[in-house]
């Protein structure tokens, strides 16, 4: 295992282990999905959740990559589909299991898995989803594995950061310097080159970009409130539609038949 991957594994596994040690179902205040973010950051996550609800039905077999402790897993569980939640961190999955089980959800299966080498047969899944985890593996290996495990006409849905806006790139570099992220992770954050490469492998692909001016929203929110800041951010995205400046994107790609 490459050094950076081991560092990230140790970071997340250790954090989840600490949380498991003191875990109390009655005191778990975790917010799932878009609700966990400041209001002016929610639009891409709300759109991602809308896509999941539209594309994932009870008869589907779904794979979530990099599920972690379940920040974006509840929306999948609520579809009634059979979902396999995967992550390289075993402790993170144990914590996710506890969090979903406390909600009375039964369609839960966890499996430790490396996104570069998935332990599943070819053409198994109707839908593969990934929320913010694509940078934790070699892009070529990860994208090939996603395509391999998808059925013909299967769908890949992803929400992630975009690595073009220099302001966001500087912030990510600072996170690396503060040892909050490893170098390979910030280098592998998806960009338009990677998105365009996916277009060559999938029959149809749709991408929506969000947050070209997200870096201004914390200040604006302090002046006029989070709700109004969200409205301004959404308006600016509609008017300017600047892909390269986007903070987040949501991608939907369909495998060839």
Beta strand segments in the chain, E: 61-65, 82-87, 108-112, 125-131, 150-161, 204-210, 248-254
- pLDDT at 1 exceeding the cut of 80: no
First CA to last CA distance, the chain: 35
Which is more confident, 224 or 24? 224
Q: What pLDDT digit, counting tens, does each position of 78-126 carry?
A: 999 999 999 999 999 999 998 888 777 766 899 999 999 999 999 999 9
Q: Under a CB-based contact definition with an 8 Å cutoff, are residues 88 and 112 in contact?
A: yes
Question: Please, what is the average pLDDT of the chain?
Answer: 93
68 pLDDT tier (thresholds 50, 70, 90) = very high
30 pLDDT tier (thresholds 50, 70, 90) = confident
Q: What pLDDT digit, counting tens, does each position of 176-212 carry?
A: 999 999 999 999 999 999 999 998 889 889 999 999 9
**Residue written as tokens 């929320």?**
131
Rounded Cα gap, residues 81 and 63, in angstroms: 10
The CATH number given to whatever domain includes residue 191 is 3.40.50.150
Burial 75-88 (b: 16+ CB within 10 A, else e): bbbbbebebbbbbb
CA distances (Å), origin 161, targets 92, 100, 124: 21, 26, 27
Rounded Cα gap, residues 142 and 188, in angstroms: 11
Q: Under a CB-based contact definition with an 8 Å cutoff, are residues 107 and 82 in contact?
A: yes
Per the structure, the count of domains in the chain is 1
27 pLDDT tier (thresholds 50, 70, 90) = confident
73 pLDDT tier (thresholds 50, 70, 90) = very high
In DSSP terms, 125 is beta-bridged to 150
Average pLDDT on 219-232 reads 96
* pLDDT at position 199: 86
- How many Å separate Cα 153 from the centre of its chain? 22
Task: Residue 191: give the domain boundaries.
Answer: 3-254
Strands 125-131 and 108-112: unpaired
* pLDDT at position 140: 95
Q: 57: which residues sit within 8 A by CB, 6+ positions away? A: 79, 80, 81
Q: Under a CB-based contact definition with an 8 Å cutoff, are residues 65 and 158 in contact?
A: no
Strands 61-65 and 82-87: parallel
């Amino acid at each position: 295992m490459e050094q950076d991957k081991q560092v990230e594994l140790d970071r997340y596994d250790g954090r989840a282990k600490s949380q498991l040690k003191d875990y109390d179902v009655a005191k778990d205040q975790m917010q799932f999905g878009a609700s966990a973010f400041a209001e002016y950051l929610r639009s891409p996550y709300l759109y991602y959740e809308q896509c999941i609800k539209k594309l994932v039905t009870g008869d589907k077999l779904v794979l979530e990559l990099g599920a972690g402790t379940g920040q974006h897993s509840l929306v999948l569980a609520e579809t009634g589909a059979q979902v396999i939640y995967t992550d390289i961190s075993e402790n993170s999955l144990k914590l996710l299991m506890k969090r979903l089980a406390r909600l009375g959800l039964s369609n839960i299966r966890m499996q430790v898995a490396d996104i570069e080498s998935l332990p599943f047969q070819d053409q198994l899944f109707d839908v593969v989803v990934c929320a913010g985890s694509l940078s934790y593996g070699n892009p070529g290996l990860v994208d090939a594995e996603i395509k391999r495990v998808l059925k013909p006409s299967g769908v890949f849905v992803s929400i992630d950061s975009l690595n073009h806006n220099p302001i966001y790139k500087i912030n990510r570099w600072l996170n690396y310097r503060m040892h909050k992220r490893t170098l390979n992770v910030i280098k592998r954050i998806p960009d338009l080159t990677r998105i365009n490469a996916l277009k060559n492998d999938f029959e149809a692909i749709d991408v929506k970009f969000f947050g070209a001016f997200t870096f201004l929203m914390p200040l604006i929110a302090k002046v006029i409130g989070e709700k109004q800041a969200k409205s301004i951010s959404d308006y600016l995205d509609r008017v300017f539609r600047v892909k390269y400046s986007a903070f987040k994107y949501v991608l939907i790609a369909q495998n060839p038949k």
